[in-house]
Amino acid sequence: MDNSIKEKIQALLDQHRTMRIATLRADGWPQVTTVGYANEGLTIYFLCGLDSQKAQNLSRDDRVSLAIDDDPAQVMDITGLSMAARARTLTDPAEIDKAIRLLMSRYPEQKAAGLPMPNPSEVRLIGLTPTVISLLDYSKGFGHTDLVVC
């Protein structure tokens, strides 16, 4: 992966904290929801309810697509990324702790308000590993994307 593209992808991941993620329902239709996330490098972490539709979808099929972007006033200022990734439920206690710390650091308002992070036994913590990333940058031309295979 070209270093300048990797740096742009990393910057987009680091500057945002919500994404739209699509999982596949049992009937084959995609289901898109917005979730908060934290990342370490290109690995993305999020959580969902143990019995949520998202958790059920991921237990059947680990393929996801996601999008991260802004809503700029000018169309030619659009930047963002979309990603195809593989999801996995975190089981290693050290990685679970790391993911929770990363998520808490991404949402300091929650901690400041005295709201606790959910207990790992009450939620499913998910790690995403990218397979393909499309970096969108309209400043290079309408609809310009750089495609990166991971």
- Whole-angstrom Cα distance, residue 148 to residue 13? 15
Residue 106 token pair? 């991404």
Mean pLDDT in residue range 8-19:
96
pLDDT above 80 (res 148):
yes
pLDDT digit string, tens, across residues 82-116: 999 999 999 999 999 999 999 999 988 877 677 77
Mean pLDDT in residue range 109-132:
84
pLDDT of residue 38: 97
Residue 127 token pair? 């790690």
CB 84 within 8 A of CB 65: yes
pLDDT of residue 102: 94
Compute φ and ψ for 12, nearest 5 degrees: -65, -45
pLDDT of residue 53: 96
Mean pLDDT in residue range 11-17:
96
What residues contact residue 14 under an 8 Å CB cut-off, 6+ apart? 39
pLDDT of residue 121: 83
Mean pLDDT in residue range 76-81:
92
- Whole-angstrom Cα distance, residue 57 to residue 63? 9
Residue 139 token pair? 């400043």
pLDDT digit string, tens, across residues 17-68: 999 999 999 999 999 999 999 999 999 999 999 999 999 999 999 999 999 9
CB 54 within 8 A of CB 48: yes
pLDDT of residue 107: 87
What does the radius of gyration of the chain's CA atoms come to, in whole angstroms? 16
